[in-house]
Structure 1
Amino acid sequence: MAIEKGGVVLLRLPEPMRNFKSRELRWLWWYLEPELRSIDEQRLQYDDISNSDRIQRMAKAIKSARNPSEFENQIMTCYNDNIVPEEHLQWIDKENHRLLIWCINNLSRNVRERRHSQLTSLSMPYLSRTLAGKRYESIITAIDIWETNKEEKINFLLQNKNEWSNYKTPDKEIKWLNSKDKDQIVWAWEYLEKHQKSFRVPKPDDMKECYDLVLASFDDLSYGHPAAKKLFLEQMKRTWSQKKFRDSGKAKKPYYLPLTIKTREKLEWLADNSGQKPAEILEQLIEESYSKYTKTQ
């Protein structure tokens, strides 16, 4: 279990664990958490240290057990009983952040509604706290450390795979959204926030992330009544179309007002000194007066 390198004795994981890759090592770290706490007061997180340091700490934790050989067997038994084969995880595309957001939200929903035993908030990734680049591994780790048997996990994954197919918003209902139109995507996110339909996360800076969150918010609406979701999306699409029409200037029709010469001179002076057009100044004044008046009603 130990080798010497440059005069320094390096611990190695027991033989059955030496072929563990990133996923298995992350699971092992969680499994050994009580032992790691007892030998190290720093309580470092998995991602805080290098892979070689992790292995050193985990090997030390195993070696420090009262009966290391028996503890190794216990670890491998738990590993074989709990770790789901990769084939059951292939539908979770690590590049599809819309799906990953849905998975994290659905895991949290299962915790809130207590649908599955031993699936607790302690092991759940939270959307607001999980970096985009860590979503996939956070989901897999949450499933791996869930303290239940492999069969229940496989059934859970199959159920979620089918649920995703049923709850994902169809492409025909989102084709009006242009992923390359920054103004539209930002508007869509703000519209969802205003109507309390968005996820409770900080406003995303990255447009791709914003687009994924908008679509994931649409998908989350599927858990409500289908008619309510349809009505909301239709209203949202209609509101965007109206905004585009207004912004294009086509909604504005010329409207002539008979002004006295002195009033016209004042208006032109305001235009010259503000950099606005006379019509823009009038529109602004009318909007301000209207807003002030309606608030007092």
Structure 2
Amino acid sequence: MPIYRDTPTSNIISDNKKYFDENIRSLSERQVSWLQVYLADKTKDVSFISLGSTNLHEELINKLVKIDSFKQVFYDAHLKMLNSLVPDKYFKLIEESLRAQIFILQVLSDEYDYNVGKIHTDHILKLIYNFFDRKENENTAENKIIFLTNMLLRLEEIVLNSNYNKWLNDNEERQLKWAANYLVEKKLIVNVSNLENSKVELKDIVLSSLDLIDYPSRIEVRDKNYSYKMSANKEIIIDKMKRAWSQQKYRDAGKTKKPYHLPLTKNTKARLKKMAQVQGLSETAMLDILINRFYELDYVDVDGKDLY
């Protein structure tokens, strides 16, 4: 049983400086936070609950030295941490990818009841860390790593088997904003509170919103015969979105058209007129859309380069 003492903490810290430098000051803030929560639950006579210090390491040290056997207490807690806390290196793949962060947080929300409501994109990574680090999650670090890896594999399959990744142009901010607004109107946008992002982040928000349409469940993925394929519903949604953007581009083009006479049969002319009326466009604009739409479908490759 730990023995508690009243010896001045500054003397103990000074005498054990090398020990604290090597064992506690070398830890990440995430590791120190985990130890604080763990020790707060295990040690009753000394309160390890953080008081919001700007230096968590020194806060933890000052609490530990109140215990005579602090080295043993820390050793036991550190051993438990190694068995429970996923090392930072396993999160490297998602640190720079907002797309991956949004996907993972949505999976946690939908499949594991980790409901966080509408969130700011700057806070997503912290929320993911919290899911894995919180004391209620009693899985071992090894099992958590497998779980995280499996979620990333699910996303990888979606990305590799989707036809909209190259459709969004990094340099076309107008297209990205239009796509985000389109998804908002269709109630398909991910649950984030900020859409006034950089082009890179906005693209990730749009792409992750599309990724999450009919995304596979963990049960499907566990099936040995499983291989991801876009659902018919998702294909229709993506196609409608691309068509709507094509219409928007030509509606907003605003460039002067050169007069050009194109003889059409009476029946074709009537159909063109009807299509233009339905879409709320001029016949010229409608013809522009039809020609360019089929050109993009049959005469360019996936990168938008002419085939012929």
Q: Is contact 1:204-1:210 (8 Å) kept?
A: yes
In structure 1, runs of 5+ residues without a counterpart are 113-120, 255-282, 284-297
CA RMSD of the aligned region, Å?
4.0
| Aligned counterparts of 1:205 and 1:94: Cα–Cα separation in 2 | 20
Choose 31-40 or 194-203, whichever is displaced more: 31-40
Match of 1:57 among 59, 64, 80: 59
Matched, 1:198 2:189: yes
Q: Per-residue CA shift, 1:239-287, capped at 9, x if unaligned?
A: 1101111112479999xxxxxxxxxxxxxxxxxxxxxxxxxxxx9xxxx
Q: Extract unaligned runs of 5+ from structure 2.
A: 1-7, 217-229, 260-279, 281-308
Structure 1 residue 109: deviation in Å?
A: 2.6
Separation in structure 1 between the aligned mates of residue 163 and residue 59 of structure 2, nearest angstrom: 52
Distance 2:106 2:256 in 1: 41
Q: 1:230 Cα deviation (Å)?
A: 0.8
Aligned pair partner of 2:243 in 229, 238, 245: 238
Aligned length: 234
Aligned counterpart in structure 2 of residue 19 of structure 1, from 8, 26, 41: 26
Distance 1:130 1:187, change over 3 A: closer
Change (3 A) 1:218 1:131: closer
One-letter identity of the residue aligned with 2:132: I
Q: Which position in structure 2 is the counterpart of 1:142? A: 131
Q: Deviations over 1:109-168 (max 9, x none)?
A: 3322xxxxxxxx4xx7x4733552x44354334323332212321221231122121223
Task: Report SS of the residue matched to 1:221.
Answer: coil
Q: 1:184 to 1:143 in 2, by over 3 A?
A: same
Shift of 1:64: 4.5
How far, CA to CA, are the matches of 2:64 and 2:21 in structure 1? 8
Q: 1:73 aligns with which of 53, 72, 75?
A: 75
Partner residue of 1:128 out of 112, 115, 118: 118
Judge which range, 172-181 or 236-245, deviates more. 172-181
* Equivalent position SS for 2:154: helix
Letter paired with 2:31: E
Tell me the TM-score normalised to structure 1 length: 0.63
Report if the CA contact (8 A) 2:35-2:78 is conserved: no
Partner of 1:179: 170
C-alpha change, 1:40 and 1:71, in structure 2 (3 Å) is: closer
Q: How far did 1:66 drift?
A: 8.8
> Does structure 2 retain, via aligned residues, the 8 Å contact 1:84–1:150?
yes
**1:162 pairs with 134, 149, 153, which one?**
153
C-alpha contact (below 8 Å) 2:101/2:125 kept by paired residues: yes
Q: Which amino acid aligns with 2:76?
A: Q
Residues 227 and 30 of structure 1, relative CA distance in 2, 3 Å threshold: farther
Once residues 78 and 14 of structure 1 are traced to their aligned partners in structure 2, the CA distance between those partners, rounded to angstroms, is 20
Q: Distance in 2 between matches of 1:212 and 1:3?
A: 49
